[in-house]
Amino acid sequence: MPQPLVSILIPSRNAERWLAETLASALGQTWTNREIILVDDGSTDGSLALARSYEAQGVRVIAQPNLGASAARNRAFHESRGDFLQFLDADDLLSPDKLERQVAELTRRPAGTVASCTWGRFATDPAEAEFVDDTVYRDFLPIDFLVLGGEGSHMMHPSAWLTPRTVAVRAGPWDESLTLNDDGEYFCRVLLASSGVAFTLGARSYYRSRLSGSLSQRRDERSRRSQFRSIELIEKHLLAAENSPRTRRARAGYYQRFLYDFFPFPIELMRAAESRVTALGGSSLPPPMGPKTAALARWVGWKAVWRLKHWLHR
């Protein structure tokens, strides 16, 4: 019986600083029946030339105008042939046996299961990665995972997943209108199209975080509107799957976290988010703050503290 083919799909834009390390991570996988497809999304640095220097090692490189990360992922998917899909951002890394362990896990599970793994954040050295969110290090039913995400900041970053192609087809393409939290909205659909999540012990992925200028750090108005739109879509997907007290609390939690992340602007989005939290029955999600900030917030409220932070930042 032939081994499953795994497609490693890499969107890349101006990632010259980290791309060699990421490609080495993909090429160094112990699962050898794989294809690596990199879509350069209109880079203006040396990323495209660097990527093409790996073509002799089997990396397939496709260049397109700057259409956005989701468009690059969709292009990579359409060009791929794999039975399983590994989305890998151009600055993230995989442990050498990540794919081998996850493929082995999925071959033991019911059809349509997606695989997750341990993941950690790092800035420059993956040896210093912090593996802290162990709440998600277990098997889940799809809605259970999404409910947990609405009740706190629990997540899997995109590179932690391994997705059967059949599930990705059912879920549909990445939403190219989104610039922030496009991964959250996409993997919400992937989970709801799956039969469950299989946590894969020993497999690891590494999420490069806290980089200046990275998509996840953007706070401009377009990004804020994208985040809000992604939450509206996640609410729609969850409502279609299950309308219950627990999913209403989860949906309220997603909006409440949006408020904590972006308050106080744009004002109309803040009002819309507050309205949804109220309509869904409220949220008990506490604001993320340290002891000193919490002491001040007890006196003046978290909104006043956030306004003060915004004013000081400006």
24 is in which domain, residue-wise?
6-215
Position 313: which residue type? Answer: H
* Positions of the chain with pLDDT lower than 50, given as ranges: none
Domain shared by 241 and 204, yes or no: no
Q: What is this structure's pTM?
A: 0.95
Contact call for residues 142 and 83 (beta carbons, < 8 A): no
Of the three residues 215, 237, 256, the one that is the final residue of a domain is 215
Domain shared by 245 and 121, yes or no: no
Question: In angstroms, rounded to a whole number, what is the distance separating the alpha carbons of residues 153 and 9?
Answer: 26
pLDDT score recorded for residue 169: 98
pLDDT score recorded for residue 313: 84
pLDDT score recorded for residue 211: 59
pLDDT score recorded for residue 1: 65
Question: In angstroms, rounded to a whole number, what is the distance separating the alpha carbons of residues 260 and 117?
Answer: 28
Show the tokens assigned to 81: 């042939």
Domain shared by 210 and 81, yes or no: yes
Question: In angstroms, rounded to a whole number, what is the distance separating the alpha carbons of residues 211 and 89?
Answer: 13
DSSP string, 96-122: TTHHHHHHHHHHTS-TTEEEEEEEEEE
Question: In angstroms, rounded to a whole number, what is the distance separating the alpha carbons of residues 72 and 304?
Answer: 40
Average pLDDT along the chain: 95
Which is nearest to 191 in space by CA: 132, 245, 148, 243? 148
